[in-house]
Structure 1
Amino acid sequence: MIDNSWIKQGKEFQICSNTGRHRLNINGAVSLDTMKLVMCNDDMINAESTIKLFEKIEMTYSESAKVTVICDNARYYRSKLVKAYLENSSIELMFLPLLTPSNFNLIERYWKYFKKIVLYNNYYDTFQKFKQA
């Protein structure tokens, strides 16, 4: 993905790109206290992958009686499956108001930084190399 570039007028510049429809879905949370990141990779982000993330958060913060997760209003957070899981969990969800700017959500800032470092102006000849980055 090219973020921006300068090319001398009259010169040609070849840009490598991949074909295919590989997709990497990353679900994550950042601690406001320690800035520690907890992430999960999955085929898709849905109720099941959200529960996997919550389990990982609970393992990471097992000493905490309650963990508050600030989240957007994605449908999977309000699914029956997630609600059932949260009944016996130390995790409590706090929803951001509708139409909240994305920079209020700390994980969105992280994803923006991540994309800048990993995607912009970088080429990976295989999907495996991209996943490792």
Structure 2
Amino acid sequence: MLFRGEPMEVMARVLEAQSVLCDQLEAVADSLPNAVDSETCFRLAAVMKVLVTEAHRFKEAVVYPLFEARFADRIEMPAIIARLRSEHAEDETYAQELAEALTAGRRNMVENPEAMGYMLRAFFRGLRRQVAFEREQLGAYVALQ
């Protein structure tokens, strides 16, 4: 259901879902080094892998071509889209590694809380920057309709 509907409405829902994921990952990072609920970690790992991959596919197949067409007069748009696609590849690799780390520990334990906190923060901070930028572009796109 998240990926069905008018492209810009879907994009807004995707960005909101990514923001919620970032908030949840931050809550886990903030709870370290205390015990972490393994069910939460498993759920976040599963959601993260699917959401990140599917959101990227949707953006690359549907949204970015719309942005490129709408902002064809902006000579920087091809470079922006290329950068976002490159970030997607990095995000997907990092999301996979983070998901493995979230599910690798023993029940309610994180073997290296400092490393886990670093991984979580690096991932959600990068994703938040991307969401903020895409919200800005989405707002500009909608305003010009």
TM-score for the superposition, normalised by structure 2: 0.25
Bigger Rg, which one? 1
Counting helix residues as a fraction of each chain, which structure ranks higher?
2
Counting strand residues as a fraction of each chain, which structure ranks higher?
1
